[in-house]
Amino acid sequence: MNKVLLTAVITILLFGAGCKRDLFEPAIENNRQVDDPNALMPSQARFMYGLLGNAYTRIPNTGWYHSDVATDNAVSNDFNNEYLRITQGLWSPLFIPFGFNRWTNGYHSIQYINQMLEKVNEVQWAVDPNIAELFRRRIKGEAYGLRAVFYSDLLRLFGGEASNGQMLGVPLFLSFQDPLANFDVPRATYEECLQQIYKDLDSASLLLPFDYGDIAEGGTVPAKFGNVARTDYNRVYGNNFRGGLLSGRIAMAVKAKTSIIAASPAFSSGNTTTWENAANDAAAILDLINGPSGLAATGLEWYGGTTAIADQINGLSVGVNPPEVLWRAGWEDNGAGLERDNYPPTMFGNGRINPTQNLVDAFPTLNGYPITEAASGYNPGDPYNNRDPRLKMFVLVNGGTLSSSTTAINTAADAPTNDGLLKQATSTRTGYYLKKLMHSRVTFTSTTTSGQRHIKPIVRYTEIFLNYAEAANEAWGPLGNGGHAYSAYDVIKAIRRRAGIGLANGDAYLELVKNNKDEMRKLIRNERRLELCFEDIRFWDLRRWKENLTEAAKGVSITGGAYNYINVETRDFASFMTTNPIPNSEMLKFKALIQNKGW
């Protein structure tokens, strides 16, 4: 989490007049305690709010987890890459690339949050009692919402069938644990964890504004806040607090992301969340942007893939999101790390993430048909022509360009440059380089770097649309809507239309499958794969769907203009690896913990 978000969370003037300079200076003996009566006074409110500030700095998914290289979407040319290593059979309770830190950070954060919930009523958040009560209400809501965020992440990573055959979640701690407390408690059931997450999110939604922002003169304060003056409302929930703080909208998004996992095949036997619940949770958000008509026209390139979107990101005000982004981390100015890691060698990059032929083949042709269908018109001798426009937006294919450069990148095995297949350690292993996430204006020379502003979404609206499409299709079929104004078919049609698919033929393939739930499921899952590739989603999607985890990663070797498809990397995942292991260090410390099945 970068300085912009930390500024919004901690260092803005939270509580108005009366704050003293020593709020961020050490107390006597550098050992200020929250039980110190002085810490509860209005002048110390920002010090106390630091309990939540600490949790905010640990929010998961504010950085990139490139787990696609452990799926059929990509490989890495860095043989020390942790995700690559787990594909080769090294995944274990002793080696969890995304596990130990998330477990410890999650529980550390929950401790701070629980302490805040116990102290929030004692702190004098402002001199004015009405303002103090509004802050108390808001901070409670933030705390409940944050606790749900961390438990939802822990459940996604570590929940599942345990070695005793039960569907288990993680240990639930709902009160502050002092050093003498008993931490050796068993894992709660999957259902108990879910219900606690839902309860906390409902509490957050009741206490928080839907979005932060000033109410203009003549406007009305939301009824749930009671008889509150507009100026008082703005002081606590206004523009000064946009950017990073938990809101009602974010709470709804966390619920939608949690319930789609719970309803999925790998976890549905252990809880009461249904596909209908998941569809309704997603629709509650989408209804607020008018359903499919609210799908952001520029949503495919929210990362600054074109000059126009780069200008939009550069012009963002603090706390304001692009239309596609529901919740994001703070921005990074002058960033170039993603590009340095992933540009090809001739552009002074390390070519780390290499999309696979498997992913390339998942993009349909322009008329919407899969390339395996005769009606697609796919030409194996000219495989990148007449294809889904997203292919060349997300994947650098042979002859493609990156950034503002007009120089074609040659990825062929007989390429004259080091961009070619397996030419050197930083060359592609698959015949492709990553293009998605690459900012259109980042450039390098041998001595200079032109960095640009980057944003990292935590939740995108397109993900919520795809959640709805998946759940609605399972609950009501492709054309059913469960009482909402749109169906799974309507959502997928809008997403494919935005991508430029089937515009000339009315998307005939979608029309062909719209009455077949099973075929629509395949299409929805494929659209999800394409739209959300390289966003740390497919690794978990394959597991919640109980899909094949061992499909070999493939590539293309182009020689003399001929396309020869090659096996690049095997995947060594056992059937029980739909779950993540509990870290071995935790299993050794706490006898009450039960390990997940197979680990």
Q: Taking Cα atoms as reference points, which of 249, 260, 261, 251 lies closest to residue 289?
A: 249
Q: How many CB atoms lie within 10 A of CB 487?
A: 24
Q: How many CB atoms lie within 10 A of CB 567?
A: 10
Torsion-angle region of 221 (φ positive above 0: left; ψ -120 to 50: alpha; else: beta) = beta
pLDDT of residue 118: 95
How does pLDDT run across 132-153, given as a tens digit for each residue?
A: 999 999 999 999 999 999 999 9
Residue 7 has pLDDT above 60, yes or no: no
pLDDT of residue 33: 62
Residue 246 has pLDDT above 50, yes or no: yes
Residue 18 has pLDDT above 90, yes or no: no
pLDDT of residue 189: 98
Q: What is the mean pLDDT of residues 232-242?
A: 95
d(CA 190, CA 172): 11
Residue 35 banded pLDDT, cuts 50, 70, 90 = low
- Per residue, the 3-state secondary structure of 369-394, as one string, reads CCCCCHHHCCCCCCCCCCECHHHHHH
Cβ atoms of 21 and 104 closer than 8 Å: no
Task: Kindly report which listed range (37-46, 109-118, 268-277) carries the lowest average pLDDT score.
Answer: 37-46
d(CA 293, CA 599): 46
How does pLDDT run across 383-414, given as a tens digit for each residue?
A: 999 999 999 999 999 999 998 899 999 999 99
Residue 254 banded pLDDT, cuts 50, 70, 90 = very high
Q: How many CB atoms lie within 10 A of CB 546?
A: 13
How does pLDDT run across 522-537, given as a tens digit for each residue?
A: 999 999 999 999 999 9
How does pLDDT run across 307-319, given as a tens digit for each residue?
A: 889 999 999 988 8
pLDDT of residue 12: 38
Give, for 8, the enclosing helix (H) or strand (E).
Answer: none
Residue 38 banded pLDDT, cuts 50, 70, 90 = low
Torsion-angle region of 165 (φ positive above 0: left; ψ -120 to 50: alpha; else: beta) = left
pLDDT of residue 40: 60
Task: Kindly report which listed range (173-182, 250-259, 421-430) carries the lowest average pLDDT score.
Answer: 173-182
Residue 341 has pLDDT above 90, yes or no: yes
Q: Which domains does the chain have, with CATH numbers?
A: 3-66+98-281+584-589 (1.25.40)
pLDDT of residue 32: 52
Query: Which segments of 427-523 are extended strands (E)?
Result: 433-434, 443-444, 449-450, 452-454, 457-460
d(CA 22, CA 29): 14
Q: What is the mean pLDDT of residues 188-215?
A: 97
Q: What is the DSSP letter of 551?
A: P
Q: What is the mean pLDDT of residues 230-241?
A: 95
Residue 210 has pLDDT above 60, yes or no: yes
Q: What is the mean pLDDT of residues 427-439?
A: 97
pLDDT of residue 48: 86
The pTM (predicted TM-score) of the whole model is: 0.93
Residue 14 has pLDDT above 60, yes or no: no
Residue 180 banded pLDDT, cuts 50, 70, 90 = confident
Task: Tell how many helices (H) and how many strands (E) occur in the chain.
Answer: 19, 14
Residue 6 banded pLDDT, cuts 50, 70, 90 = very low
Average pLDDT, the chain: 92
pLDDT of residue 98: 82
Q: From residue 487, give the alpha-carbon distance in Å to each of 218, 219, 280, 471, 512.
A: 38, 35, 12, 10, 16
What is the phi/psi pair of residue 276, to 5°?
A: -65, -45
How does pLDDT run across 473-523, given as a tens digit for each residue?
A: 999 999 999 999 999 999 999 999 999 999 999 999 999 999 999 999 999
pLDDT of residue 23: 25
Give, for 396, the enclosing helix (H) or strand (E).
Answer: strand 395-396
pLDDT of residue 30: 39
In the block, tokens 């001199």 appear at: 127
How does pLDDT run across 550-567, given as a tens digit for each residue?
A: 999 999 999 999 999 999
